[in-house]
Every structure is written in C-alpha cells, then in structure tokens.
Chain A
C-alpha cells in the first residue's frame, strides 16, 4: 500500500488518529493514557458527524443477537463506563451525566411482547456462561416502575446493563481531556490524498500540514469506507439515517431510559430514532417524525403535551451486518480501523480496552477477532 512518491516527514507523533468523533476521540484519549504522543485529525465545522446527532444510550440489551462476542464487548464497555465518566469529570470538570439504572424496551402489542421475549431468551442462551440477566415485565408491574405509562403498553423487556449519558458533553469532554493530556487536536484537517502507508511508517497531509507516525487509526466514521483501502484495510460502512426529536425540559421524571425515549439530565425528553436507508441525505421528513411522536404518545401520553424544541436527522455509520468493525492491516502493520454505530455505548471499551491494544501493536483476537472486516469476504 505504500505510495510511491516522495514523503517529506513532517511533524512526528507516536500515533495519528483520523476522525475526531466519539470513536476517534475515545481512542485518541486512551492512547495518550498509554503515554503516546497523538495527533487527532478531524474535519471542520460542517461534516457528517454521527457523534453530534445521536441518541445517547449506553445500551446493551439489544446488542449482539446471534453474535455473543458483540454482546460481551458491549457489556465490557458498559462496565468500563463509570470509571471513564469519573475520570473525565475529574480532568475536565464536565459531567457527562452517566446513569446506568437499567433500561426497558416497551412493547405496544402482544405480538411485540412475545417476539421480544423470544429474542431475549435466545440472547441468554447464546450468552452461555457469560450470563444475560433480563426480565419480561407485564404492564401492571411496569406501571409502578414507569409512572404515566399509556394504556397501549403491554409490557417490556428489562436488563440491568442499560443506561445513558449526554453524548455532546462526552464529545466535548473527550476533546478536552485529550488536549489537556498533551494530545494535538487538529480541526479542518480532512485526510484525502497524499497518504503514505508502509509497515509502521505512515504519513498524511491534512489541513496543509504533514503528520507522520508509526501507527495510524482510522476512525473517520463514514469516511473510513474511502480511507481504509489506502491502508490495506476495508470498512464497508454505509450511512443510515436516524431522526430524533427533543422536547422542552420537563419537571417530570422518567426513572430509566427506554429504547426510544430517554430523559436527559437537563430534563428534556429525547424521542428517537428512525432507521432509514436513504444514502447521504440528512433532510428531515415530517411523516417519519410523526411516527416517532405517535409511538411516544402511545407509550407515555403526557409526552404529547410537551413542546418539541428541536429535531434533527443524522447518519449512522452502519456495517452490512450492523456490527462494529475492528481491524489491523496485514500489509501495513501499525494501521488499525474502528467503526461502530454505538459510539456512545462503546466509548468505555474504546478508551480503556481498544486503545491499549493499539498502543501495544495488535488487537486481542479473542475479543475482537470475529469483528474483522474479513467476515464480509467469507460470504
């Protein structure tokens, strides 16, 4: 993969991380914790940046049906989260608002309830010795847990692993912690052409500057699809649109997050999030957010009285099978790639588990081997 043209060395670092969203920032900060000098290269103000448009769940209960290794990775991240949040607060004074009270997935019909119950049972089966604690809760009991529940709700699945955090504060806190730990955050630094990739020898030009390092991490979200092949990697991710609604702050309290409804620490209620295959199109569609609103009102009728103060659409970073992709380059050792559609949930794992692997030079195959992009070649 090495480019043939002459490489002027430029500023030298221990690692270059491409992409300053939640994934790149968590890894970059983790790498500084390993004593590395890191340059974090990001685009400018206007970019496809899922990290600015997501829902903020730290969520395990629906992750990895048929892929227990993903469930384990997600749970490891949820476990790493409290320490991550405390560390960020201590370093930056910003409270990312982590709460992990467990979470529920509401079912609005008997069919939904039964389908959910079957899924959860399979998850437990697949978890084997690792375990998967959950309960299917019927409406009467659920009403005590969640005041104001609507009459249409039949029941819910519950797991103790779930929670949520403020994803924007997380992004800000990661950028600050990274910078304060000596990392170099470079905005307006899109990596496009002029890439040099050879074993343990990488250099890129971005924002008019040259950066060189023996390690490079591709964490450019949707940008990874184009970047990965330049480093002997592959990241077949596509955009998947999600629309989200946020209400005014309310004094009412939702004691725990629901898959598509959560209350922020500020008090507003977030309603989400649609799943739309529309390519690179971030327009908003009233008919889609109407469905989100309907479901919210059926779940909690009182939400209908709240004003919507904001709504948006953003693009998820989605792999063909919906699982994350972690990989290391065989032709250019030292190059890694990381992609996922749950960058909030996995922030703990990225900062605390993945970054040390990258610093040490190799991914832990037992944990991440099955999440290689090679899985798409097999088929």
Chain B
C-alpha cells in the first residue's frame, strides 16, 4: 500500500500534522511505538489521567487534540516501531520497515514527516546509574500513565533545572507527594543577567507564558525547600541510591529525579543522513530545517521538538504548518492556499516560541552536565564506560565518537548511543581542545529499535 504521507510519532506535532494533511485529502498514516496517541507530553491522555486535575490545564488541552486526531479518521498504527527508513527506494518513494507484536512489514509513502520529539538530556553525575536515580520526566510519566507518585516523598529529591522540573514539583505537590528537597543547579545570576531577553519575550507575546511559569515557581517555593545554585551533584550508595550529595551538603534519599532540559531525538534523522547543525543556544544537535520543516532530503520533513526544542504549543503549530506544506508539495494546495491555511499556525508558533530564548539562556546546562569532570563517572550506561576511559581514547587519537565507539564500545549497547552520544562528544571536545559541537555524533544504524532475528527473517517481501 502506498500512502501520500507517513508520519512517525503521534505526539502533539504528529497529531496536528496528520489532521492538517488528512484535511487536505492526503492519504496519511501515523505510526507510534506507544500504545496510544499523546507523545511524551500527553502520555496516557486517552486514559484515566485526562480526569486528573492535578496534572494541570495544559495536560487537559491534550485531550482535545487527541479527540480531534481520532475524529479526523487518520489511519494510525500504535505499538509499532519504525526500525528502518529508506528515503530513496527503487520506486522513488520512501520505504518504512516496521515492527509490531505480529512481526515485521514494510510500507511505502511519497513523503515522510518525522515527529519523533525530544528526549531528556542525559545528566551524567557520579552514581547516576544507581537504582533510584531517574529522570524527572520518568516520574511525570508515572503520574500520567499510572497515577503513581513516589512512595516516600520525604526521601525523594528533585535536582537540576528547567521548566519541567518546576512543573513536576508542582504536580507532585498537588498530588500530595511533594519532594523533600529541590536542588536547583541554575547559577544565581542567570535571571538577572537575562532580563533583556525576558523583556523581548513579553514584547513578542510571551507574557502569558512567563506569568504561568512564575506562578508555578511561586507555588513550589512556598511548599518545598530549595537549595539554589547547587554544584557538585552526586548520587551515592552501593547497590542502590542512599544519599544525594553536593558541594556543601548531603541528604538521605532513595529516589533522585534529575532534569537538565530536553534535546531533540536525532536518532532517526541522523541514521538516514539528514544534515544537522549544532544549536549553540540549546547545547545540542538538531536537524537542519526551514520554517516549514523541510530537511536536507526533499522527501523528509520534521515537525515538533525533533527539529529543535519549542514545547508542545509550538509543536502543535509546527505540525500544522509542516502537514500543510506536504499537501502543497504534493499539489493539493498552491502557495497561496498554504499561506492562508497556515497563517494562524505561523502566528501561534511565533507566540509559543517567544519565551524560548529567555528559557534557553536562563536554564543553559552547566559545563559539568555536558562534560562530567570526575573520571570515574559513567558516560555510557549500557556498556559501563567511564568518562576517564573516553578521555584516554581521545588522547590516544580518537577525534570523534565513531572511533571512540570502536575503541571502547560506548554507543554499541542497547540504547545505540542515544544517551551517551552527547556526553562522549563533549568529553572528546574537552580533551582535544575542540569547540562545542565539532566532534559530531555517531551515525546510528538500523534497526533503530531492537527486533528479533526471527522477526527479521520473517519480513514479508
């Protein structure tokens, strides 16, 4: 079966793109490895969590998007992973290799939108591999999909920085499980230094978002002890987390939730060889796209956070714009038609991104997050490779992560470098005296997600 458009990812961007494209008559299919629509932010949105008031108004907004998505009648395959994408097959189409509980199969599409979103930035502090150390996002997913909170809030600590950290703190607070302590890593002067950006944001229509954020912060600060400008974070314990420690303090806990912002999930875009650029403001790689999500490959577009972090409202707007542009490229609407249909989304995206430069500057991750100073810290969790080993490999002559991977196996484990990639690159850059973003990333290879040998052998012709 040949589709006009295949969309990978049913988060806010993927859903919005699908609705827009279907609306223009494109034969569209959406694929997501999760069991239901929502993506990371609206996890479990069709489930019980939609009724959970403690998750806040933004989360509730997701339910409307998911309803519209279902109502649009777009074909969707959940519980299905994309494990290989060939953007230039023999027929001049894209071939997608998929796997689900039944096995593997392929489909073809004229165009593909990657709406695979973001992942949390790795926070490689000493001891981060201990049971009991998780990401803040992980705890939030527990709230959304399971309605579960930390069993021992008094022994639970949040550490790091960024909007999601504060949102989670408040969500936990409202659910009656406020963490015992927040260790904020943001340096003291960051807000004052960036007041200019805040003023710009307000001018660009970001006042509402700024106000929303300030309210969250105030709510958390009233109820939860906060240690500011924390440095030297480490997780301690033998077989599991027992303490979190920092320069000047130590606290007994069995759950430590880390967060230092999110970064685009570049796995698939890198694997198919799209051009990427180092985003100095967000300290991460992102695929190069234009305003309409077009990439360096003319059949592939990117929508949402996968093209650079903007948050869910920007993702919805971008999904709509990118979806409409596929209709234009396939001749369903002309440039004028696109302009009319996309204008509200373009304005909405501008508003949604108004606060971004301020947030990027205020919550820029510290040097120790990007590049763990302690040689004993694990850089690659899968293969248990330390920062010191990576530095030694770089000194020996590895100028980038592909050679380090060959030397040390880091990036060869189950996560295929999704988690260690940024850290390994930063360690090489530090050791060899290179500017940030010049060591590159490893080239991910298929299968993007594990499939069994038997399932591959059974791949339908």
Contacts and interface: CB of A to CB of B under 8 A. Distances in A.
A283 interface: yes
Contacts of B440: 45-46
A119 interface: no
Interface stretch (A1-9, A11-19, A290-298, A348-356): A290-298
B457 A179 contact: no
A303 B445 contact: no
Interface residues of B, number: 37
Interface in A136-190: 168, 171-172, 175-176, 179, 185-188
Nearest to B87: A283
A175 B408 CA distance: 13
Interface of B: 84, 86, 95, 97, 106, 393, 396-403, 406-409, 412-414, 416, 439-440, 443, 445-447, 450-454, 456-457, 459, 461
A196 B97 CA distance: 50
A176 B396 contact: yes
10 contacts: A45-B403, A168-B406, A168-B409, A171-B406, A245-B456, A248-B414, A248-B450, A293-B456, A294-B457, A308-B452
Contacts of A303: 453
Contacts of B399: 44-45, 187-188
Interface string A227-247: 000000000000000000101
Contact of B459 (A187, A284, A290): A290
A279 interface: no
A179 B453 contact: no
Contacts of A286: 84, 86, 95, 97, 106, 446, 456, 459
A376 to B, nearest CB: 32
Leading 9 A-B pairs by shortest Cβ distance: A45-B400, A304-B454, A307-B450, A293-B457, A293-B456, A172-B407, A294-B457, A52-B406, A290-B459
Contact of B454 (A175, A248, A305): A305
Interface in A281-325: 283-287, 289-290, 293-294, 296-297, 303-313
A172 B408 contact: yes
A308 B412 contact: no
A271 interface: yes
Contacts of A175: 396-397, 407
Contact of B400 (A46, A168, A284, A308): A46
Nearest to B383: A266
Nearest to A46: B402
Contacts of B86: 283, 285-286
A42 interface: yes
A311 B447 contact: yes
Nearest to A168: B406
Nearest to B443: A46
B453 A284 contact: no
B446 A185 contact: no
Given A171-B407, A187-B397, A248-B450, A309 B413 contact: yes
A307 B95 CA distance: 22
Given A187-B398, A188-B399, A310-B445, A284 B451 contact: no
B431 to A, nearest CB: 13
B327 to A, nearest CB: 29
